[in-house]
Amino acid sequence: MTLQTQPAQPVHGLSTLSAVSLSPEREEFMRRVGPTSQGSPAWRARKPVEARELLALETIAPRIEIIALDLTTELLAIVRMAVTVPCLARDGELVVVGQADLALCYPEEILHGPLPGYALVQIHRPRRVWHPNVSDDVAQRICLGANVPKGYPLREAVLGSYAALTLQSISLDQADPAGIMNPAALSYWNDHKARIPLSTAAFLDPPASAGARRAGGAP
């Protein structure tokens, strides 16, 4: 007896994003944004490449969803990500929520030179994130390092944000101010290293349920 099967779908990973087929709606979106994209010829050529990679990442990674994407001037995007996010509750307790909305701003200057590591990603939701590499202000900028190099791909900013928020990649060196955006959170996490990382799941793994959980201990 033979088993009739569907043609095998190619399995894509982070290294083959350019080969990922987008859904018809996403392809249509990419067609529509072209004429309204502004900037120098190099920037107009670069934005669709980065946007397509972001959409391809969404296609293969069940933990992210592109909520909004705008290529008019800067490349702006809101990415909803299933990820552990350490936050302060109203009572001052630390809670770990399961979802974040990341605001990405990818400016033309990235073509010309390195940018500060905090220039690309902000946490739009949730509020009151308690993380050494996230600024303790309204902007909630994630610092991905001392700087991001010229031409740094947007997908790397998404992957770097995931690694930072799960505490898989974290800077806890008080002597190195590069990357430290919240010294009080730095002290807290230095005292609670046993809780690091918050998750060991790989970026492409299916996400766990997104409910908030108490991490215990007031910072």
Q: Judged by CB, which is closer to other proteins: 107, or 219?
A: 107
Binding piece for other proteins, criterion CB under 8 A, among 8-16, 83-91, 105-113, 156-164: 105-113
d(CA 129, CA 164): 12
Alpha-carbon distance of 153 to 165, in angstroms, equals 19
Determine, following the binding rule CB under 8 A, whether residue 105 of this chain makes contact with other proteins: yes
**Residues contacting other proteins: total by CB under 8 A:** 29
Quick check: 214 binds other proteins (CB under 8 A)?
Answer: no
For the chain, the C-alpha Rg in angstroms (whole number) is: 19
Helices (H) and strands (E) in the chain, counts: 4, 8
Scanning 3-11, 19-27, 71-79, 192-200 for contacts with other proteins by CB under 8 A, the matching segment is 71-79
Q: How far is the CB of 194 from other proteins (least distance, A)?
A: 31
Nearer to other proteins, 127 or 193 (CB): 127
Contact letters for other proteins, residues 22-61 (x by CB under 8 A): -------------xx-xxxxx-------------------
The residue from 56, 74, 130, 133 that contacts other proteins (CB under 8 A) is 74
Chain centroid to Cα 35, Å, comes to 27
Do 38 and 44 form a contact (C-beta atoms < 8 A)?
A: yes
Distances (CA, A) of 160 to 9, 56, 57, 118, 215: 28, 17, 13, 11, 23
CA 93 to chain centre: 25
Which of 21, 23, 72, 174 touches other proteins (CB under 8 A)? 72
Residue 204 binding other proteins, by CB under 8 A? no
Residue 199: closest CA among 98, 129, 89, 60: 98
List residues near other proteins by CB under 8 A: 35-36, 38-42, 68, 70, 72-74, 76, 78, 103, 105, 107-108, 111-114, 122, 124, 138, 146-147, 149-150
